Amino acid sequence: MTAPLRPADLTAPAVIEVKNLVTEFATRHGPFRAVDDVSFSLKPGKTLCLVGESGSGKSVTARSILQIVDPPGRIVSGSVMLNRHLTARGAEAGIHSIDLAALNPRSAAIRAIRGRDIAMIFQEPMSSLSPVHTIGNQIGEAIRLHENVTKKEARARVIDLLRKVEIPNPDKTIDRYPFEYSGGMRQRAMIAMALACSPGVLIADEPTTALDVTTQAEILSLIKKLQDSEGMSVLFITHDMGVVAEIADEVAVMRYGKIVEQGETLAIFENPQHDYTKMLLGSVKQLDKPSPRRLARRAAHPPGETLLSVENLNKTFFIDSGSFFKTGEALKAVDGVTLTLRAGENLGIVGESGSGKSTLGRTIIRVYEANGGAINYTFRDGRTVDLAALKDRALAPARRDLRMVFQDPFASLNPRMTVAQIVGEPLLVNGLAQGEALKARVAELLGMVGLPASAMERYPHAFSGGQRQRIGIARAIALEPRIIIADEATSALDVSLRSQVLDLLLELQERLNLSFIFISHDIAVIRYFCDRIAVMYRGKIVEEGPTEEVCTHPRHAYTQSLLSAVPHPDPRMRGTRVRTRYREAP
């Protein structure tokens, strides 16, 4: 559905010209430069992707253009020229250029430009819409702020807009509140609001990051379609190289507040000049295909006996009898799941948010009680025990063999304990080591995950996300487990760290004879790491099989739609694939 790659005319005049922009945040130890001497230009009707990892200053750059940087941040120097006459909308207005950086952030002049000439959409569609106003009111307000129209006219315009962003039954849904919309519909409503005054420029700050991959694909194609029909220029901010390859005409790569490289999409992807761009593309391309290391290992050591077999597992949540809901409403998060995991094997569980994949992982390790079914685990001595039937106290031996790595490296480590205490905790409470022996073992574990022994006395806040995830892994392997359930273990990490952590897990698998259940929404990561894959949809496993087979020849319609929505980090693939949409048979 996406448009084919168009050659960008680098000499064309720009709608927005950013020159030597510097934005600083005042901190108690001197100014911190979030945007450091950034220059780029946005061509009429084109899409410029600003790409970078977390903390690179890409969002602050976008906010600087509209002068909506949160205090204590402020623009220190540089200019942001808006050439209004070059936008599709302002063409009739005559030659008219404004330096946005010179305007007062609270002036009427900049307010007249926000929303009218330049509109912005944000990452979190729930928090960027007001929960107490109907969608229609919020979009209508945007129109009536800038144009002199009656309420009735505004309403008609809003219905038109909602139709344009493909929201079903716009004349009814206009009176709904944001909480009645799904995530994707909210983002559509945000886009409708942004389009309300047909702006010449749309700034989209990670608009699809909070969305599922199938929804992301729909939103991306919607933006592209609207851009073509309205003649907008789009400044698209993202961390995802796949998204860049899908939509960008030009790319600017940011790092530490500076643009390290910019140019046409094809040139950047096929002939990156800067080392950072090469590294970024390298780590993206490294994923999305099987890890050679894993394949070599499986050839030498094929997976062994069945370790864990989950049979017909059910987990139902009862929504509390709070007065706002009907009493005892049941939500089947895991619905009759049957799985097996063999020794030395990596099983991937893939699904979108709300598919029940995290609940499945947590039910297997008995954080949640199962409502039915069996979790048969075979111990080292050959005994097979149904974990679902065990009392909480009898679980201890099984919990030494089954360990978990969490998604959020910040929330999963107790901030009030040192790294030595965190990693040593399972050894200590299981009575395996104490005193000097404990210290030595912790140092050894930290060494295994690639952290220095000097990390022991420090607190988690001293470490970056990737290092924290390594601490979490060290805690998981402390008891010499046999199975590790990794719940979105790499999702919170930047792409360059993702493959490092996955390689670490593979290395540990070889050294410690581990088996993994790897839960993720990211097919690329699963493809790199997992031997087999189970696709979950609404609590059920819809398809299961060897990873490569499922990825290349998906049989179930849901898997097909999921795979067709994944953006590919190759601009030449743009528009070559047919995206399907899965609708459950009623």
Partner 1 sequence: MSSATLDTRQHPTADQASQWRLMWWAFRRHKLAVTGLIIVFLLYFIAAFAEVIAPYDPDLSNARAINHPPQGLHLIKTGPDGGWRFQPHVTAMAQKRDPMTLATTFAPDPTRTVDIEIFGKGAPVTMWGLFTVERRLIAPKVPGERFYLIGADRLGRDMLSRIIYGTRISMSIGLIGVAMSLVLGILLGGLSGYYGGWVDATVQRIVEFKLSMPTIPIWLGLSAALPQDWPPTWRYFAITVILSLIGWTELARVVRGRFLALRTEDFVVAARLDGCSQMRVIFRHMLPSMVSHIIASVSLAIPMMIIAETSLSFLGLGLLPPTISWGVLLKEAQNVRTIAEAPWLFSPGVAVCIAVLALNFLGDGMRDAADPYAQEGR
Q: Which parts of this chain interact with partner 1 (CB under 8 A)? A: 25, 27-29, 32, 34, 55, 70, 365, 367, 396, 399-400, 403-404, 406-408, 411-416, 418, 425-426, 429-430, 457-459, 461-462, 472, 475
Q: Which is nearer to partner 1, 326 or 461 (CB)?
A: 461
| CB 14, min distance to partner 1, A | 29
| CB 29, min distance to partner 1, A | 5
Q: Which is nearer to partner 1, 208 or 407 (CB)?
A: 407
Could you tell me which of 145, 143, 241, 228 has the C-alpha nearest to residue 193?
Answer: 143
Q: Which is nearer to partner 1, 441 or 458 (CB)?
A: 458
| CB 112, min distance to partner 1, A | 28
Q: Which is nearer to partner 1, 91 or 411 (CB)?
A: 411
Q: Which is nearer to partner 1, 37 or 425 (CB)?
A: 425
Characterize the bridge pairing of strands 329-342 and 306-319: antiparallel
The alpha carbon of residue 285 and the mean position of all alpha carbons in its chain are separated, in whole angstroms, by 17
- Secondary structure string (H, E, C) spanning 244-277: HHHHCCEEEEEECCEEEEEEEHHHHHHCCCCHHH
Are 262 and 40 contacting, i.e. CB atoms less than 8 angstroms apart?
yes
Q: How far apart are CA 276 and CA 569, in angstroms?
A: 16
Could you tell me which of 186, 193, 250, 184 has the C-alpha nearest to residue 219?
Answer: 184
Q: Which is nearer to partner 1, 177 or 459 (CB)?
A: 459
Q: How far apart are CA 362 and CA 373, in angstroms?
A: 15
Angle between helices 213-230 and 183-195 (to 10 degrees): 20
Q: How far is the first Cα of the chain from the last one, in angstroms, to the nearest whole number?
A: 26
Q: Which is nearer to partner 1, 459 or 582 (CB)?
A: 459
- Secondary structure percentages of the chain, helix, strand, coil, to 5: 40, 25, 35
Q: Is the peptide bond before 7 cis (omega within 30 degrees of 0)?
A: no
| CB 197, min distance to partner 1, A | 30
| CB 501, min distance to partner 1, A | 17
429, with CB counted inside 10 A (0-12, 13-18, 19+), is exposed
Could you tell me which of 183, 189, 179, 197 has the C-alpha nearest to residue 136?
Answer: 189
Amino acid (1-letter code) at residue 539: G
| CB 483, min distance to partner 1, A | 12
Q: Which is nearer to partner 1, 30 or 586 (CB)?
A: 30
Which DSSP category does 382 fall into?
A: S
The alpha carbon of residue 104 and the mean position of all alpha carbons in its chain are separated, in whole angstroms, by 35
Q: Which is nearer to partner 1, 487 or 531 (CB)?
A: 487
| CB 25, min distance to partner 1, A | 8
Q: How far apart are CA 338 and CA 546, in angstroms?
A: 16
Q: Which is nearer to partner 1, 113 or 388 (CB)?
A: 388
| CB 430, min distance to partner 1, A | 5
Helix (H) or strand (E) holding 307: strand 306-319
| CB 74, min distance to partner 1, A | 15
| CB 378, min distance to partner 1, A | 20
